[in-house]
Amino acid sequence: MKIQKYLKASLLAAFTTLAVTSCNQDKILEPVPLTALSDKSAFTTPDRIAAQLNGLYASVKSGQFLGGRMLVYMDVRGEDFQNRTGNGVTALFAWSYNQNSGNAEPQNAWSSGYLAINRINVFLKGLDDNPTVISTALANQYRGEARFLRALSYYYLVNLYARPFPLNNGASPGLPLRLQAEVGPQNSDLARSTVAQVYNQILEDLNFAEQNVLASHPSALLNVTRAHRNAVVAIKIRVLMSMGRYADAVTECRKIVGGTSAPFSAPTGVQHRLAPTFASIFAPPYTTSESIFSFPMTLNDLPGVQNGLGSYFGVPAPPQNAIADYNLDPAGILSNPAWTANDARRAMTAVATGRTFITKFPLNPYTDYVPIARYSEVLLNYAESLVRSTNSVSQLAIDLLNAVRGRSAPGATYTSFATPAEFLQALALEKRIEFLGEGLRSLDLHRLLQPLPAKTGVPGSVAPTDANYIWPIPDAELAANKLMTQN
């Protein structure tokens, strides 16, 4: 009984995205608070529709999903963080490659992701069912933003619960591809689509979004926290690279990277470029020219207990053993000579209790913005895609790499590379330095079919074909969905 109640509340969502309540006809004259709209009034005014869209962003940025833990899982599965607390509540099993289908981590990530997806589907149906409340153009803009969020959600889920696309061109079992609004358990049985089918849907959503979201919003804040054209393209680049489609990724990169030499900037839409300093990206107001898309947190809208990035990676406060769970592994990127001593990104670390922690994200009260896409990633993805699609190292690829590296380590830029492999190795190290704690590491490992690495405290690596390379389908989903199969 508890499982059924939980699934109805989380996996099927039953209009909880809109904070709706059932409408009792006997109480039709009683006013309905704006915070508890009935299903008959949620789409009756432009303001209410706009409020529902804001609710979608809030759902996707749940601390159990892209507002915290999902990014943590993606990073601690790499080789650069060391668990120091042994706390089974805070990503210990993700870090140690030791998940099982009954653990809270796979259950919470799955249910939070599918809850967000169903809320998006409910919203899209609400727009379709109420076609005259807002203009067609505004409705399509909102649809574009919603479908961007759905694509983003499916992308992270398919990378955690399914085999990498390049393993067999996406033929592996993927995810149940839920695209219709569910307000009850009647459609809970749904078979898994293939990985390729999931990726095709992600691209379909992103292509629609690109054509319909705004090129830019009227404020710097909205240009960081709401979907716009460059944000859609930045995620599409990442998706295409995950599919091994590097020539197509180059085409997308050219949409938002103008010029053939530094300084690089977006030629249209939001005028994205690298921020002058690395530290400024992670300081209020979190709206630098580099920040393409982030999830904002405030004192009134926090990610929740043990969800904030700072609670996993930040410098612990006295007594220095109470909060932060992960320090930088001394055997990881911290000791790699590619991360030079004078690199400004080392200033974003601190030593406590003899361990080194990153300081990008404050410990408390976790009001930092959660970075999903930055312009530095676009530049590095452009460089990598150029080299992989041509099997050669152009001056443009070197300049793109040096633009990111030179900002923080100006005396350590590159002049040439003997082989494409040498370039790609240097670029991979640069991404590990640049994006520590930002949830990109295991995404890169997956798309490149590289093993989850051995590290301090975890002696063995995990091959892409091993059972524990991906997460198990949670027991609750298997109980509710009779067509679901286990990994």
Compute the average pLDDT of residues 409-437: 97
pLDDT tens-digit map of 212-245: 999 999 999 999 999 999 999 999 999 999 999 9
Instruction: Check pLDDT > 60 for residue 24.
Output: no
Work out the pLDDT band at 5, boundaries 50, 70, 90: very low
pLDDT of 427 > 80? The answer is yes
Q: In which band, very low, low, confident or very high, does the pLDDT at 14 lie, cut at 50, 70 and 90?
A: very low
User: Which pLDDT does position 319 carry in this prediction?
Assistant: 54
What lies within 8 Å, CB to CB, of 52 at 6+ separation is 17, 18, 42, 43, 123, 126
User: How many CB atoms within 10 Å of residue 172?
Assistant: 18
Tens of pLDDT, residue by residue over 390-402, are 999 999 999 999 9
In this predicted structure, what is the pLDDT of residue 301? 87
Residue 16: its pLDDT value, please?
36
Q: Is the pLDDT of residue 93 over 60?
A: yes
- Let me know: does 82 contact 328? Beta carbons within 8 Å: yes
Interval 34-46 mean pLDDT: 72
Q: Give the three-class secondary structure for 295.
A: strand
The yes-or-no verdict on residue 321 having pLDDT over 60 is no
Q: Global pTM?
A: 0.92
Secondary structure of the chain: what % helix, strand, coil (to 5)? 50, 10, 45
Note the pLDDT of residue 39. 67
Domains, the chain: 1-213+437-487 (1.25.40.390)
H/E element holding 357?
strand 355-358
Structure confidence at residue 322 (pLDDT):
55
Band the pLDDT of 23: cuts 50, 70, 90.
Answer: very low
Q: Calculate the average pLDDT of the chain.
A: 91
Looking at the predicted structure, is the pLDDT value of residue 325 above 80?
yes
Residue 89 DSSP one-character state: T
Q: Which residues lie closer than 8 Å to 34 by C-beta, 6 or more apart? A: 48, 51
CA dihedral 177, 183, 188, 191 (to 10 degrees): -20
Instruction: Give the pLDDT of residue 318.
Output: 59
- Report how far residue 422's alpha carbon sits from residue 182's, in angstroms, rounded to the nearest whole number: 50
Question: Which pLDDT score, from 0 to 100, does residue 132 have?
Answer: 96
* Residue 3 predicted with pLDDT over 60: no
Q: Which of 191-195, 334-338, 355-359, 432-436 has the lowest mean pLDDT?
A: 355-359
Looking at per-residue pLDDT, the higher value among 475 and 34 belongs to 475
pLDDT given at position 52 = 96
Quick check: 129 pLDDT over 60? yes
Band (pLDDT 50/70/90 cuts) for residue 29 is very low
| Mean per-residue pLDDT, 456-469 | 96
DSSP annotation of 27: G
Residue-level length of the chain: 487
The whole-number average pLDDT for the span 377-393 is: 98
- pLDDT, mean of residues 412-427: 98
Instruction: Check residue 206 and give its pLDDT.
Output: 98
Q: What is the pLDDT of residue 305?
A: 80
User: Which of the pair, 303 or 194, is modelled with greater confidence?
Assistant: 194
Strand-pairing partners, residue 154, are none
Q: Is the pLDDT score of 12 beyond 80? A: no
- Indicate the SS3 state at residue 126: helix
Mode of pairing for the β-strands spanning 291-295 and 355-358 = unpaired
Cα-based angle 383, 389, 390 (whole degrees, multiple of 5): 95
Here the tokens at position 77 are: 């599965």
pLDDT band at residue 9 using 50, 70 and 90 as cut-offs:
very low
